[in-house]
Amino acid sequence: MFKRRKTEDHPPFLIVGLGNPGPEYKQNRHNVGFMVLDELADEMGATFGRVQSNALVAQARRGEGRLVLAKPRTFMNRSGSAVGSLLRFYKTPLEKLLVIYDDVDLPFESLRLRASGGSAGHKGMRCIIENIGTQEFARMRVGVGRPKGRMSTPDHVLQDFSKSEQAGLPFVLQKAAKAALTFVDEGMVAAMNAYNSKET
């Protein structure tokens, strides 16, 4: 007679969006990871209704599997503690972790998914890598473009999207949410093939 498997035998996917907490940062380019998770939650009928491991968390079902969506409440450069804690709590294996964040080296509207890699100077990603002790996990970079003129990169990412960018932002968020679900349903190779932008 077969024993029924416990839910721990089927750990959920953990989808993390990076950003800074607080209303003053809500529309910043640096918070596009949060925005993608809001779009993903809306699409799946999930609600960020509770705080766990210093992150706002929503849960959803996808077929026979589960997804945990998390927005760390720490500031960007301290995101690692929340991610590490959630991984341990849900016993989520690294192959089921996806981190979504902004990238100034990609043009606006571009996406780039990778199965692993370094932080490329992104402080949120650097903190996660240091906390969990590896860079072997999936990530999705959402392009926010380079600063214009003499504006510094920190000032650029801490500004809201421009009016022209805001017009195209819903399309970007929808595309990123679909890419995340492709990762869940079909794996990273399929998501990369379908959604990686050609721009370098």
Active-site residue set: 30
In DSSP notation, 178-191 reads HHHHHHHHH-HHHH
* CA max distance for the chain: 70
CA separation for the pair 124, 102 (Å, rounded): 10
Long-range pairs of 156-163 with CB within 8 A, sequence gap ≥ 24 = 156/29, 156/104, 157/28, 157/29, 157/30, 157/102, 157/104, 158/25, 158/28, 158/29, 158/30, 159/28, 159/29, 160/27, 160/28, 160/29, 161/27, 161/29
